[in-house]
Chain A
Amino acid sequence: MMNIVENFDLFAPRLINKQELISSGHRACSGCAEVLAVRLMCKALGENTVIASATGCMEIISSMFPTTAWQVPWIHVAFENAAAVASGVEAGLKALRKKGKIDDRYVKVVGMAGDGGTMDIGFQALSGAMERGHDMIYVCFDNEAYMNTGIQRSSGTPMGASTTTAPAGKVSIGQKTWKKNMPEIMVAHGIPYVATACPSYPLDFIRKVEKAKSIQGPSYIHCFSMCPTGWRSPSHTAVSMGRLAVETGVFPLYEVENGHYRLSPDMPKKLKPVKSYFKPQGRFRHLTPDQIEMIQEKVTVEFGKLVEKAKFLKTGNE
């Protein structure tokens, strides 16, 4: 079989939309996996899309007045309200389309924010928008800390990571709490579609965005987006680090459609040890073998739970 990556130009037109809806020339750091993820998301969404973005890295790197990197309609209002703004855009467009005041075509509204803008300050607005059943997608680009303001901890920061507000020290492990399980909280909202994704698995991510796009109603995608600057890793490691997060079970890829769980085909049968994921990252460098073991146990338990859910809560068509 031909290698897809080596023969990308041959496969790409069939697999990936060639149109770039976030243009080059934006101001993201080199090796940023988040902007790669945004780019892939836009390819999957296509041009009949409106994006409501929270304040954060993706907003400041793409919209410095009087320039813009966005080829799709895009709005930024504040930090904590991307979901609420998206819900308003959706309601507004729905009314205008119904009254014949705009083109009669289907437009998908997408809210996006980082882990802080989703899991901390934007949590309430997101919960409200999902509960109200707006026809929208919400994508959390999770790089596991407030990177835009300088690597401060969020509720998405994993146990043991050193950040500027939860630094490792003589008496501190760094982050003292377990990462908030945001996808599960979204599943608990009873929305039609929840998925986890990572730009290191572009075709899986694109497929999930396409699926979310096809659903009438709210859907949520939690996209794990490595940040070389904040994770204290070389900028060429973004893709490999995302793969390691998945291969170790630290960030498993799965989707939940109408309450039915399915692990992504990319998930390995046997997980690699978490230490292979921790080793290349400066933010975990201080961890002792005991601490790594403590985290390994948690990852194993959590992944086991997910496998069980996938076993017992299968999709109807399988």
Chain B
Amino acid sequence: MGKRIGMEVAVAVAEAVGLCNIDMAAVYPITPQSHIAEHLSDLVADGHIDCEFVTVESEHSAMSAVIGASGAGARSYTATSSQGLMLMHELLPIASAMRLPIVMGIANRAVSGPLNILNDHSDIMPQRDAGWIALFVENAQEAVDLSIAAFKIAEHKDVMLPVSVNIDGFQLTHMVEPFEMPTQEEVNEFLPPFVPHATLHPSKPVTMGAFAMSDYFTEIMKAKDEAVKASKKVIQQVFDEWGEKFGRPYKLVETYKADDADVMMLTMGSMGETAQMAIDELRAKGVKAGLVKLRLWRPFPFEELKAVIGNAKKLIVTDRACSFGGPGGPVFSEIKSALYAEARRPLIYNYIIGLGGRDVQVKEFVGMFENVLADTANKAADTYEFWGVRE
């Protein structure tokens, strides 16, 4: 059994990664990822982990270097945020096409401009179609657990895809929270050594990153789509194994008081805990409110989502980013499309909330429910609104 401790979440994530016997890490500092980078370098400097630590000159080179190292067969890790992730963007689809099981921690932060260092999800949303598995966490425990489980998912022979672990910047990375840290022995038992299917070594020369013309490109894209879709099964399997070993089971879509809910809210990331408190308040007032928390953004868990939405009449989707001039928030448009073909589906409302670190309190989540419940003519259904905006 691991010890229950209190620690800053970013530091805890570095500690967790340090338990994973990584061979190589390449990082470039960016707020609010920097405490992950710093603590990982401490662990290397103090000899706690035996790993090549490459202090690259940019995030673009961080991703390039982990691609090279992973291609060589090394278990490789990086972490970034916001502009850094945007700089990596070019390389993300290459990493997934090359089927490299890289794990990346993302301290989610708003994308410029204007420059803003605080939390929202506008950095991860543009990476949606990169072919990476994208996990979201809500608290310290989840950040620690899934940073470890991510390696097992990525390196599974039926997956072999890169994984991002999305951890809300500041709101989560810089909080000191209590959690249970697995022991080295437990992680060793859970996470087998990485056995790559091909490596960049002269003992068996291979060509990686060949170029393909129209005669093969479509087939390669189809293969990647199949691979990402198929990973869903393994992700749940690894979550189940984690649950069995550590007593903390995870699901692709988590719920809170959702079974009999008439009106539901959907969140991703750390705001789920605040929304939970709003649900409790509403339940105390007799409102049958429930919460859906999307843990897995890619591959999108369509069936699992439909199963938990059940018979809810109204669904509030919260977004931490906007698709400007588009259909609303990116999560909103995804949920709408997921439920489009359903004979019975809830009316869907979209609130774009918490941009650039703006706080969203319990009373505001309650307010969203109240607004939606007051919309008896269903006029606001299928629309989106910037919550709390000054106009």
Contact = CB atoms under 8 A, between A and B. Distances in A.
Interface string B205-224: 11111111100100010000
A98 interface: yes
B74 A96 contact: yes
Nearest to A108: B202
* Chain B interface bracket (under 10, 10 to 19, 20 to 34, 35 or more): 35 or more
B200 A76 contact: no
Interface in B12-55: 23-24, 26, 50-52, 54-55
B73 A92 contact: yes
B23 A73 contact: no
A27 to B, nearest CB: 11
Contact of B72 (A72, A77, A89): A89
A60 interface: yes
Interface string B188-205: 000000000001111101
B210 A89 contact: no
A64 interface: yes
Contacts of A86: 68
Contacts of B380: none
Given A48-B202, A60-B211, A72-B205, A95 B51 contact: yes
Given A80-B60, A85-B68, A88-B68, A93 B201 contact: yes
A264 B159 CA distance: 53
A75 B68 contact: yes
Given A75-B71, A101-B73, A132-B55, A50 B201 contact: yes
B54 A91 contact: yes
Given A66-B210, A84-B61, A92 B68 contact: yes
Contacts, number: 178
A136 to B, nearest CB: 10
Contact of B68 (A52, A127, A128, A131): A52
B370 interface: no
Given A85-B64, A85-B65, A92-B68, A72 B202 contact: yes
A248 B66 CA distance: 43
A4 interface: no
A39 B361 CA distance: 65
A20 interface: no
Contact of B64 (A60, A64, A81, A94): A81
B359 interface: no
B88 to A, nearest CB: 11
B108 interface: no
A50 B54 CA distance: 19
Given A49-B202, A95-B24, A107-B202, A124 B58 contact: yes
A127 B57 contact: yes
A6 interface: no
B76 interface: yes
A142 interface: no
Contacts of A76: 208-211
B69 interface: yes
A95 B52 contact: yes
Given A49-B202, A72-B205, A102-B203, A77 B57 contact: no
Contacts of A74: 200, 205-208
A99 interface: yes
B86 interface: no
Interface string A104-126: 01010000000000000000110
Contacts of B209: 63, 75-77
Interface of A: 47-50, 52, 59-60, 63-68, 70-78, 80-81, 84-96, 98-99, 101-103, 105, 107, 124-125, 127-129, 131-132
The 4 closest A-B CB pairs, nearest first, are: A88-B68, A128-B57, A92-B69, A88-B65
